Amino acid sequence: MSPDTQQNLFYTILFIIQHNVLALIYTTGILFITGHMFWKPTRGKILILWGLIILLFAFEYSKHILEPLREQTIQSLITERESVRIEFYITKFLTRIVPFALPIFGWMLVGMGIFFEPLWNRCMKYYNKIRN
């Protein structure tokens, strides 16, 4: 292989990794948590898994889904006459609210999953003490 082709291949791989670094991190987390859930399933790990899935979807949404979805929604809702108000609300919702809310919801689930197990164990210990 020529040095030029080797350099181009190296830069191609580098740019693919740079473009998808968060997706790779979230995917690694999803695979790790899934494997860990097979070994010892808990409620907290389910919350962490769903949080990471939502974070991965939020990343892909902002990178690849947002603009085509916005255009498709505008074209399907505005057919006959121009409606600036509908276009404004669709654009606000799909380009501002959804990309802002999805990562917050994902990280909230991850945080709840981390703190859920100790809290759940403490509550169950207290419940069993009261019951007996």
In Å, how far are 40, 68, 98, 112 from 91, measured between CA atoms? Answer: 43, 12, 10, 31
Tokens of 105: 């919801």
Per-residue pLDDT tens listing for the chain (132 residues)? 888 888 888 889 999 899 899 999 999 999 999 999 999 998 899 999 999 999 999 999 999 998 999 989 888 888 778 888 888 999 999 999 999 999 999 999 999 999 988 888 888 888 888 887
Distance CA 17, CA 77 (A): 37
Among 45, 61, 51, 46, which Cα is nearest to 94's?
61
pTM, two decimal places = 0.82
